[in-house]
Amino acid sequence: MFFRTMLLAVSLTVASPGWAQQPQLPLLELFAGMHRIEAEVAATSESRQLGMMQRTMMAPQHGMLFVFPEVAAHCMWMRNTLLPLSVAFLDEKGRIINIEDMQPKTEEHHCARKPARYALEMNLGWFKSRGLSAGFAITGIEKAPPGR
Protein backbone atom coordinates (compact mmCIF):
# COMPACT_ATOMS: atom_id res chain seq x y z
CA MET A 1 0.00 0.00 0.00
CA PHE A 2 2.80 2.42 0.91
CA PHE A 3 4.51 1.75 -2.44
CA ARG A 4 1.28 2.48 -4.37
CA THR A 5 0.73 5.73 -2.47
CA MET A 6 4.31 6.87 -3.11
CA LEU A 7 4.06 5.92 -6.78
CA LEU A 8 0.83 7.97 -7.11
CA ALA A 9 2.45 10.97 -5.39
CA VAL A 10 5.49 10.80 -7.66
CA SER A 11 3.28 10.39 -10.74
CA LEU A 12 1.23 13.46 -9.87
CA THR A 13 4.37 15.50 -9.22
CA VAL A 14 6.03 14.43 -12.49
CA ALA A 15 2.83 14.90 -14.52
CA SER A 16 2.24 18.49 -13.51
CA PRO A 17 5.38 20.36 -12.42
CA GLY A 18 4.98 24.07 -12.90
CA TRP A 19 1.31 23.81 -13.86
CA ALA A 20 -0.39 23.21 -10.51
CA GLN A 21 -0.22 26.81 -9.29
CA GLN A 22 -2.30 28.16 -12.17
CA PRO A 23 -5.99 27.79 -12.93
CA GLN A 24 -6.94 25.27 -15.59
CA LEU A 25 -7.52 26.94 -18.96
CA PRO A 26 -9.60 25.42 -21.76
CA LEU A 27 -7.66 23.45 -24.38
CA LEU A 28 -7.96 23.92 -28.13
CA GLU A 29 -6.54 21.56 -30.73
CA LEU A 30 -4.64 23.43 -33.43
CA PHE A 31 -2.57 22.25 -36.37
CA ALA A 32 0.52 23.66 -38.04
CA GLY A 33 0.41 21.48 -41.13
CA MET A 34 0.84 17.93 -39.83
CA HIS A 35 1.97 19.14 -36.38
CA ARG A 36 -0.71 18.91 -33.68
CA ILE A 37 -0.75 21.55 -30.95
CA GLU A 38 -2.62 21.31 -27.64
CA ALA A 39 -3.08 24.98 -26.83
CA GLU A 40 -4.33 26.38 -23.57
CA VAL A 41 -6.59 29.31 -24.41
CA ALA A 42 -6.04 32.63 -22.64
CA ALA A 43 -9.07 34.61 -23.82
CA THR A 44 -9.70 36.86 -20.81
CA SER A 45 -7.69 39.82 -19.63
CA GLU A 46 -6.77 37.95 -16.42
CA SER A 47 -5.59 34.78 -18.20
CA ARG A 48 -3.62 36.79 -20.79
CA GLN A 49 -1.85 38.74 -18.02
CA LEU A 50 -0.90 35.54 -16.18
CA GLY A 51 0.09 33.69 -19.36
CA MET A 52 2.95 31.23 -18.87
CA MET A 53 4.29 32.89 -15.70
CA GLN A 54 5.96 30.65 -13.10
CA ARG A 55 5.77 27.48 -15.18
CA THR A 56 8.84 25.27 -15.11
CA MET A 57 8.13 23.02 -18.10
CA MET A 58 5.90 22.56 -21.12
CA ALA A 59 5.42 19.43 -23.22
CA PRO A 60 6.73 19.73 -26.81
CA GLN A 61 3.27 19.71 -28.43
CA HIS A 62 1.73 22.11 -25.88
CA GLY A 63 1.40 25.86 -26.14
CA MET A 64 -0.73 28.81 -25.13
CA LEU A 65 -3.01 30.72 -27.49
CA PHE A 66 -3.65 34.33 -26.48
CA VAL A 67 -6.94 35.58 -27.92
CA PHE A 68 -7.21 39.36 -27.99
CA PRO A 69 -10.54 41.23 -28.14
CA GLU A 70 -9.26 43.55 -30.86
CA VAL A 71 -6.91 43.37 -33.80
CA ALA A 72 -3.87 45.48 -32.90
CA ALA A 73 -0.06 45.47 -32.80
CA HIS A 74 0.03 43.42 -29.58
CA CYS A 75 3.25 42.89 -27.64
CA MET A 76 4.42 40.16 -25.26
CA TRP A 77 7.08 40.09 -22.55
CA MET A 78 8.58 37.49 -20.22
CA ARG A 79 8.31 38.96 -16.72
CA ASN A 80 8.11 36.08 -14.23
CA THR A 81 8.22 33.57 -17.09
CA LEU A 82 10.76 30.83 -16.44
CA LEU A 83 10.76 29.07 -19.83
CA PRO A 84 12.35 30.30 -23.06
CA LEU A 85 9.54 30.65 -25.59
CA SER A 86 8.84 31.51 -29.21
CA VAL A 87 5.71 33.49 -29.98
CA ALA A 88 3.94 33.58 -33.33
CA PHE A 89 1.67 36.55 -33.87
CA LEU A 90 -1.33 35.53 -35.98
CA ASP A 91 -3.88 37.46 -38.01
CA GLU A 92 -7.64 36.81 -37.80
CA LYS A 93 -7.37 33.80 -40.12
CA GLY A 94 -4.49 32.22 -38.20
CA ARG A 95 -1.72 33.20 -40.64
CA ILE A 96 1.64 33.83 -39.00
CA ILE A 97 2.61 37.50 -39.17
CA ASN A 98 5.98 37.14 -37.43
CA ILE A 99 7.72 34.93 -34.89
CA GLU A 100 9.81 36.24 -32.01
CA ASP A 101 12.11 34.31 -29.67
CA MET A 102 11.85 35.33 -26.02
CA GLN A 103 14.22 34.69 -23.12
CA PRO A 104 13.03 33.98 -19.55
CA LYS A 105 12.63 36.71 -16.93
CA THR A 106 13.09 39.63 -19.33
CA GLU A 107 10.96 42.69 -19.88
CA GLU A 108 11.91 43.28 -23.51
CA HIS A 109 8.80 43.79 -25.62
CA HIS A 110 8.23 41.42 -28.55
CA CYS A 111 5.58 42.84 -30.86
CA ALA A 112 3.49 41.92 -33.87
CA ARG A 113 4.77 43.65 -37.01
CA LYS A 114 1.19 44.10 -38.22
CA PRO A 115 -2.14 44.10 -36.40
CA ALA A 116 -2.76 40.64 -34.88
CA ARG A 117 -5.75 38.88 -33.30
CA TYR A 118 -3.79 36.03 -31.67
CA ALA A 119 -0.40 35.12 -30.25
CA LEU A 120 0.69 31.48 -29.96
CA GLU A 121 3.48 30.71 -27.49
CA MET A 122 5.44 27.47 -27.86
CA ASN A 123 8.76 26.21 -26.53
CA LEU A 124 11.74 28.16 -27.88
CA GLY A 125 12.55 27.13 -31.46
CA TRP A 126 9.36 25.10 -31.98
CA PHE A 127 8.30 27.01 -35.12
CA LYS A 128 11.80 27.15 -36.62
CA SER A 129 12.46 23.44 -36.08
CA ARG A 130 9.31 22.67 -38.08
CA GLY A 131 10.09 25.08 -40.90
CA LEU A 132 7.21 27.44 -40.04
CA SER A 133 7.49 31.13 -40.83
CA ALA A 134 5.46 34.21 -41.81
CA GLY A 135 2.50 33.42 -44.04
CA PHE A 136 1.99 29.86 -42.77
CA ALA A 137 -1.56 29.25 -41.45
CA ILE A 138 -2.35 27.65 -38.10
CA THR A 139 -5.63 25.76 -38.51
CA GLY A 140 -8.34 25.24 -35.92
CA ILE A 141 -8.09 28.87 -34.83
CA GLU A 142 -11.70 29.48 -35.89
CA LYS A 143 -12.81 27.39 -32.87
CA ALA A 144 -11.18 29.79 -30.42
CA PRO A 145 -13.55 31.73 -28.16
CA PRO A 146 -13.73 35.50 -28.62
CA GLY A 147 -11.28 37.56 -26.60
CA ARG A 148 -12.66 39.59 -23.77
User: Which CATH number belongs to the domain containing residue 120 in this structure?
Assistant: 2.60.120.1140
The pTM of this model reads 0.84
Question: Is 14 a residue whose pLDDT tops 70?
Answer: no
Structural domain contains residue 74: yes
Structural domain contains residue 14: no
Q: What is the mean pLDDT of residues 87-96?
A: 98
If one counts the domains in the chain, the total is 1
Determine contact, residues 77/53, Cβ cutoff 8 Å: no
Question: Is 125 a residue whose pLDDT tops 90?
Answer: yes
Question: Per-residue pLDDT tens for 64-88?
Answer: 999 999 999 999 999 999 999 999 9
Structural domain contains residue 67: yes
Structural domain contains residue 91: yes
Domain span including residue 127: 23-143
Question: Is 41 a residue whose pLDDT tops 70?
Answer: yes
Give the amino acid at 42. A
CA distances from 80 to 22, 60, 77, 92 (A): 13, 21, 9, 28
CA distance 18 to 22: 8
Question: Is 18 a residue whose pLDDT tops 90?
Answer: no
Which of the two residues, 16 and 10, has the higher pLDDT score?
A: 16
> Of all residues in the chain, what percent are helix, strand and coil, respectively (each to 5)?
20, 35, 45
Share of the chain above pLDDT 90, in %: 83
